[in-house]
Structures are given as structure tokens and as C-alpha cells.
Amino acid sequence: MKKLFSTSLLLAILISAVGCQNHKKKLPRIAIAGLAIESSTFSPAVSHEDAFRARYGDSVFSYYPFFAADSGIIDRAVWLPTLRGHAMPGGIVSREAYESLVSKTLDSLKAKLPLDALFFDVHGAMSVQGLDDPEGDFLVRIRELVGTDVLISTSMDLHGSVSPRLAQNTDLITCYRLAPHEDAIESKKRAVTNLLDRLENGKGKPAYKAWIPVPILLPGEKTSTRIEPGKSLYAQIPEVIEKDKVIDASIWMSYPWADEPRNRGVVVAYGDDKEAVGKAAEKLAAHFWNVRKEFDFVAPTVYLDEALEKALASDKKPFIISDMGDNPTAGGAGDVTWTLQEILKRPELKSPRAKSLIYASIPGEEFVKKAKEIGVGGKIDATAGAAVDNRFAPPVRITGTITAIHEGHPNAKTEVVVRNGNTSVIVTERRMAYHYEKDFTKLGLNPRETDILVVKIGYLVPELYDMRADWLMALTPGGVDQDLLRLDYKRINRPIYPLDPDMADPDLNATFIPLSDEIKR
């Protein structure tokens, strides 16, 4: 009996010791960093450091709902956020801004060494003065600081570009699978959970990464996953994933408004089974190439004159027209006045019985300043727009009654509504894209009841999409012109579809990228 008691006591002590040891298990140290912007090199605009609205330290967590206290993720590591900047799409980033943000990130990372891992959260379509592959450059500089043993997981937008250098220096990589990007947070969470799983199971860097460039370059408005062929293409991704054999696979559509060699479609798959990884990547790449001619705009697409004619003749409301060529959410300057000039010329919109129309929006800092001095209810006659991009039209003259002034928007700063007859124009202090019903109703405008709603965006986000009675996408000029054949490409890799529609089939065999700790520096 005494012996049995002693044995039981010893067993209890051992269990307790193991329990304490597990409880005190050292958590991995994981840093967080990244910069996100889409930058058009076909726009004269330049993006500066303040555009990124960088967050530092613990404020970085606010980007990610999955870091909430009850998420189960926050307790799986010691999280070390550094700098995360997210800019509204715009023009090329100044070299000064890029170097400043990268230096601040590296300084913060240096103070947090040693690290076990990094969550690298970028868009993938940043253009920087004097650089062809900013995200790849950024990651190389991080590697030089943290070393090649640190596990890095990268999250990207599917409209980003993956160069061989970027693929080499990350260990895990994923991108969104939906456009519009309703799965953005889910995709970032996938990047984090895959990273944690590889740390916790001790397997570390996946053994194989397959990279396949696919010579296709299409605008997002043609590659929505709401419709075919994008819907089935991206739906195939979960089918090729097979636990550790193929941990993840992704398809990048790239970004057509930057004239850079890296810009083209790409497929990446990674995992621990070389044959399975290669086959997964090749299957997706072949599917992508085979459906290239089936991609089309998500809505009927015409030039502006035809769009206005159809809207004016329609009895459906709201009849939405996308003013796509200067879409600020794709990288346009946002202040091209050409479309608004054409609208204001239309005699059908000047009569007392004219259809109601809302135009959203045109930036004009001086116009807004003058409107604030006049006040709501007053008359204004001033010009706006074309301060950055005046290639297609000069500043537009806007006259009418000021019906609303709203201050304090994080992007627009101050918004002014000017009404002339049945046409209302929103003028903003800073460029702004109008996506949601509340964007209008807070200004006293009812987008559901207006006859015609013209918005400087491309495809409609779900709220406007559900609101539409009819919708046309207008091919208008600007830094993100959707008619790619009008763009003066000089540096992208050719041949590429659709610029070279009769090109031969490309080699879509997988290239296996070296692991980050195999790279010679």
C-alpha cells in the first residue's frame, strides 16, 4: 500500500512538472510590418509619406480583428508590431517617403530582435521612384536584418505582383481569393494561422515553393470573382490544397497601371511535397491561361456619351455610371474633370424637367475653402479639379447653391454639395471615392431616389451593387484608363495578353524557388 502511494505520488509530481513545463513553454516572437498602396505610373500624381497614415506599435493591432483578446490567436505568440501603413491608391510613391517608412520599420525591427517570425502584410502594387520591385526590395532589407532563419509569412492583395525576389525571401505567402475583396481579413488571418501552425508543429519553412509567371495583365474590373471565369478559377484553389503536402496556393492578377517588368499574372504554391506543389501550381496556371479570353467587364462597358444617352433614356433609378478612368481606389489622381465637364455640357440636364443626377466627386481645395466662407444656402461660382491631372481637361467651373458642408472625413476632409437645377456635384477638399449609402445621406443626398448616379470608381462594392437599378461602366480617360490599349507601355514583359492577343502559348511549368535560407547574398 505504501509502495503504491509512493508510486502514485511520484506520478503526480511528474505530471505536475510536465504541466508546468508546458505552461511555461516559450512563445514565438513574431513581428508585424507592412506597407500597402496601389500606385499608377500612368498618373502624374505622387504619393508622399503622410498618405500612408502609418500606425506604430500596438495601434497596428487595430487593422486586424483576429487579434482580439478572445480570438485564440493573440495568446499563441509574443506579438511585436512595428509599422503598418495603408495608403489610398494613388500615384507613384516618392523615394523619400519609401526610404523613410522602410527605415522606421527596420529600426523598430532591430529593437525587437531576436525574432522567430514575421507577418509581412503588403498590397503588392506599390510603385516607387527609382525602384521596379519595392515589396521585394523591402523584404530583402528585412532579411538582411533579421536573418534567413526567421520564418516570414506574407499576405497580399490579388492585384499585387510577385517577383522571384519576393517569392524567394518569403517562406509562406497568400493573397485574397475574392474581388471585390470581401475576404481581405480572412486572407490575412490565413497568413497568420499558417505561420503559427508551422512554428508550433516544428516543421518551419515549407520544403518547396513553386512559382509560375502567367503572361496576362487585366484590370480588376475584368477579373471579378463574382462572375465567370474568375469565380471558377479562384474556387479551384481549395481543391489543390492538401494539408502539409500543399499548404496554400494563390493566384495574382497583378496591376495593369504600372509599367514595370514584374507586372503580370503569377501563381504560387508551397508545401512539403514537391510533386504535389508543382502539380497544384501548374493546374491553376493552366486554368488561368486557358480562360484568358473569357474575362470581361463585370457590367456592360461603353464610352461616356453612350452611357449618358442610355441613362437619360432609362426609367430605372438609380442608373449608376462608373467613371472608371480616374478611379482613386485604383490609383487615379481623382481630380480629372473630363467626365464632369461632359456632364455639365449636356442640354438634357439643364432643363427644369431634367433628370436628377449626383456626381461623386471632384476635389478642389480652394473651392471648398470658398464654399465654407459663403456657407450653406449661398451661391458659388468657382473652379475645381485638374490640380494634379490636367491632361484631359482644365479645372471645371461649378456654379449653384451650396446645399451641404460636412467636415471631418478622414479622407475627404471637408465635403461640399453644390446643386444647379437637378444636378448635385460633390466637391471635396481631398480626393475621395464614394462607396456607401451613408456617404451620400450624411450630405442630404438620396442615392436610391436619384435618377442618375455617377461615381469615380470601377466595379461597385456590394452596397452600391445591390442598390443599382441599372449600371454601366464608362471608359473614361485618366491614370487608370480601363482601355489598356490606350496606355503607352514601354517596360512590361512582352508578349502579354491582351496587348499581344495572338501570342504563342507560354511555358507554364513550375519553377521551384530556393528557400530563404538557401539564398546566396
Indicate whether 318 and 424 sit together in one domain: yes
| pLDDT tier for residue 13 given thresholds of 50, 70 and 90 | very low
Q: What is the reported pLDDT for 468?
A: 98
Indicate whether 354 and 452 sit together in one domain: yes
Strands (E), 354-458: 357-363, 379-384, 396-409, 413-420, 423-428, 452-455
Indicate whether 420 and 375 sit together in one domain: yes
Average pLDDT over residues 28-46: 98
Q: What is the reported pLDDT for 131?
A: 98
Indicate whether 275 and 395 sit together in one domain: no
> From CA 145, how far away is CA 507, in angstroms rounded?
36
Indicate whether 332 and 272 sit together in one domain: no
Average pLDDT value over all residues in the chain: 95
> Is 499 contained in some domain?
no
Phi, psi of 301 (to 5 degrees): -125, 125
Contacts of 221 (CB under 8 A, 6+ apart): 297, 298, 301, 324, 458, 459, 473, 482
> From CA 179, how far away is CA 488, in angstroms rounded?
26
Q: What is the pTM of this model?
A: 0.91
Domains held by the chain: number: 2
> From CA 61, how far away is CA 345, in angstroms rounded?
49
pLDDT digits (tens, 9 = 90+) for 100-123: 999 999 999 999 999 999 999 999
pLDDT at 328 over 60: yes
Question: Domain residues for 79?
Answer: 25-295
Which residue, among 241, 240, 245, has the nearest Cα to 271 in the 3D structure?
A: 245
Indicate whether 192 and 239 sit together in one domain: yes
> Is 521 contained in some domain?
no
Q: What is the reported pLDDT for 518?
A: 85
Q: What is the reported pLDDT for 19?
A: 46
pLDDT digits (tens, 9 = 90+) for 159-214: 999 999 999 999 999 999 999 899 999 999 999 999 999 999 999 999 999 999 99
> Is 3 contained in some domain?
no
CA distances to 102, 116, 134, 263, 451 from 141, rounded to whole Å, are: 9, 17, 11, 21, 53
Find the radius of gyration of the CA atoms of the chain: 26
Indicate whether 72 and 132 sit together in one domain: yes
Share of the chain above pLDDT 90, in %: 93
Indicate whether 282 and 402 sit together in one domain: no
Indicate whether 261 and 352 sit together in one domain: no
Supply the DSSP symbol for 38: B
Q: What is the reported pLDDT for 12?
A: 42
Specify the DSSP element, H or E, that contains 78: strand 78-86
418 bridge partner residues: 402, 425
Indicate whether 176 and 74 sit together in one domain: yes
pLDDT digits (tens, 9 = 90+) for 377-429: 999 999 999 999 999 999 999 999 999 999 999 999 999 999 999 999 999 99
Which residue, among 2, 63, 6, has the nearest Cα to 32 in the 3D structure?
A: 63
Which residue, among 293, 237, 295, has the nearest Cα to 270 in the 3D structure?
A: 237
